Amino acid sequence: MNIPFYYILKNFVARKLTAGITIGGIALVVFVFAAVLMMADGIRKTLATTGSEENVVITRKSSTGEITSIIDRPTADLISTLQFVQKDEKGNALMTFDGVTVINAPKKDGGISNLAVRGVSETAMNIRNKITIVKGRMFTFGSRELIVGTALVKTFDEINIGDKIKFGGDEWTIVGEMEAEKSGFESELWCDVQQLQLAFNRDAFSTLTFRKTSDADIETMKMLFAGDKRLNQYEPENERRYFEKQSEAMRMFIQILGITITVIFSVGAMIGAMITMYAAVANRTTEIGTLRALGFGRTSILIAFLIESIITALLGGIIGVGLASLLQFFSISTLNFGSFTELSFNFSMTSSVISGAMIFSLVMGLVGGFMPALKAARMSILSALR
């Protein structure tokens, strides 16, 4: 015979103070857990939306990122002639020859951090059509001018329109501010790649990015590069996939660190749930004996107390997820392990984050309530009534 559900709810409501404290503790743990997952997903989403599915990026195989990749000019010219590189009306390759370097800049909250400066070709805007100038103007090719991503303006000092930044032995003037649909490009400064090469006395590029033809396939490109002695030390990759890979190390670090902290907190939350349920068992010993005398079995008693514990945990989980959802309105920045430069991103609430947080709270309710429920189920009728 099963115990009526209203009896479980009645006893749950009767313990408002202790239940509220336990719910609050679980909510805090779930909030931290969800925030960690949202942060990791936010980094992945920011870099995964960088670039286009129609673009291909070429890097040196041994490189760990754009900064460590080097492509000499003859090789760049050779790649621009390949059949799977889309051409414009004049027969010119829709390709940008990018140079990437790192500079230092002061942050608004104090300290200094790294910024990525990307030199691009004049065709860059044709193949990266998500870039929009929202303030000022586009930099002039052939001059020492820059445009800055909106994410950097919120985080760094002295990078507004009209400000000058000194690097490469010269002063560069910021003339515009750009948006890139919340992608990683919003955390960069852009300039003329030829001017960047002259400033640092370079004659090579970091990466090549081109718009592929409609019939081109990444795997076919990789096979062609691997079979050509002139190109086998370089590797083509889908632009979005390339930038998404750059987030993997950072995501893994945040998840391991965050989940470790969350597990420590969850132990405290489960102990709190266990104490609450033990107190409920102690205060309702006579009720348990009466229920047993009326014919309710040990399994029914066990399930009833487990349900109480699970309800407590799920309510805490719902509150924790609700609080974590408010983080979507905030953006933060951190050092990207792939490029060693500042990356701004938003917390991302997804269905996987919500389901993961609720499963986590359910586990806390089961673990925290099992032992007290087992104690209640094992009580003999005579000792309980006495």
Same domain as 165, residue 43: no
In the predicted structure, residue 72 carries a pLDDT above the cut 80? yes
Same domain as 194, residue 113: yes
DSSP string of 134-202, one letter each residue: EEE-PPPTTSSEEEEEHHHHHHBSS-STT-EEEETTEEEEEEEEEE-TTSGGGGEEEEEHHHHHHHTT-
Same domain as 73, residue 12: no
239 occurs within a structural domain: no
pLDDT confidence of residue 90: 81
Same domain as 59, residue 27: no
Same domain as 66, residue 183: yes
pLDDT confidence of residue 210: 92
pLDDT tens figures, 229-275: 899 999 999 988 888 887 777 777 777 777 777 777 777 777 777 77
Mean pLDDT across the stretch 113-121? 90
Beta-carbon contacts of residue 159 (< 8 Å; ≥ 6 apart): 105, 115, 148, 152, 153, 165, 174, 189
Same domain as 309, residue 179: no
Same domain as 85, residue 140: yes
Percent of the chain with pLDDT over 70: 87
Same domain as 68, residue 173: yes
Question: Which of 58 and 16 is assigned the larger pLDDT?
Answer: 58
144 occurs within a structural domain: yes
Q: Does residue 108 contact residue 159 with C-beta atoms inside 8 Å?
A: no
Which of 184, 211, 238 is the C-terminal boundary of a domain? 211
Same domain as 373, residue 326: yes
Same domain as 91, residue 65: yes
Q: For the chain, what is the domain count?
A: 2
Which of 161, 186, 211 is the C-terminal boundary of a domain? 211
pLDDT confidence of residue 74: 92
pLDDT tens figures, 74-109: 999 999 999 899 988 888 889 999 999 988 888 887
Residues spanned by the domain of 104: 55-211
In the predicted structure, residue 4 carries a pLDDT above the cut 60? no
Mean pLDDT across the stretch 299-323? 84
Q: Which token pair is 339?
A: 């490029």
217 occurs within a structural domain: no
Which of 40-44, 73-77, 82-86, 282-286 is least confident? 282-286
Mean pLDDT across the stretch 186-190? 90
pLDDT confidence of residue 1: 47
pLDDT confidence of residue 98: 94
138 occurs within a structural domain: yes
231 occurs within a structural domain: no
pLDDT confidence of residue 194: 94
230 occurs within a structural domain: no
- Residues 307 and 12: their CA atoms lie apart, in Å, by 10
- Residues 272 and 20: their CA atoms lie apart, in Å, by 11
182 occurs within a structural domain: yes
pLDDT confidence of residue 158: 83
Which of 211, 235, 262 is the C-terminal boundary of a domain? 211
Question: Which of 289 and 186 is assigned the larger pLDDT?
Answer: 186
Query: What pTM value is reported for the model?
Result: 0.77
Determine phi and psi for 158, rounding to 5 degrees: 60, 35
148 occurs within a structural domain: yes
Same domain as 200, residue 59: yes
Query: Band of the pLDDT at 281, cuts 50, 70, 90?
Result: low
Query: Band of the pLDDT at 208, cuts 50, 70, 90?
Result: very high
Same domain as 309, residue 173: no
